[in-house]
Amino acid sequence: MKALITGASSGIGRDMARVLSQMGYSLILVARRRERLEELQGELRTEVQIICADLSKEQACFDLYEQVKAEQIDILVNNAGFGMFGAFHETDMKRELNMIRVNIIAVHILTKLFLLDFKKRNSGMILNVASSAAFLPGPLLGAYYATKSYVLRLTEAIYEELRRE
């Protein structure tokens, strides 16, 4: 069994790697920070492949998929993401757009590509990590809350489509 985890260098992604390794999964860990991935790799019991990628770049998402599509991945954990704090009219536009690329576009691309494979073989699971922020308006975190709402709603929509097949 094999799982691919984005945003694996810290937080929920790192903890998911620990849990899945304890369950016996081989792992493909994806993040920008190689040194953190290597540190995590050293503490895990199962086989771990490290891929450094900046998922704010669309092409990096497609490249990641191409790099691992021949693997028998059983679980995709779309966890990469970040937030930014501040009044909407004061936050940095470039950083916000980068957040939208990571929190929405990367999730969208990877979900679509892996779902197509999982459907072909009638096997596989996708965990799209959102947040309680997906359910609420978020003053001073408006764009972040909106990105997490997208992740939640996309995931729910896909679930309903698959459930009805």
How far apart (Å, rounded) are the C-alpha atoms in residues 114 and 144? 24
Q: Which residue has the higher pLDDT, 12 or 137?
A: 12
Q: Which residues are catalytic?
A: 144
Quick: pLDDT tens for 27-49: 999 999 999 999 999 999 999 99
pLDDT digits over 131-155, tens only?
988 898 889 999 999 999 999 999 9
Longest Cα–Cα distance in the chain: 47
To 10 degrees, the CA torsion angle through 72, 110, 127, 23? Answer: 30
Handedness of CA 128, 133, 137, 143 (dihedral sign): negative
Class of residue 122 by CB neighbours under 10 A (exposed 0-12, middle 13-18, buried 19+): exposed
**Rounded Cα gap, residues 90 and 17, in angstroms:** 36
Q: Is the pLDDT of residue 165 over 90?
A: no
pTM to 2 decimals?
0.95
Instruction: Collapse the DSSP code of 17 into the 3-class scheme (helix H, G, I; strand E, B; otherwise coil) and give the result.
Output: helix
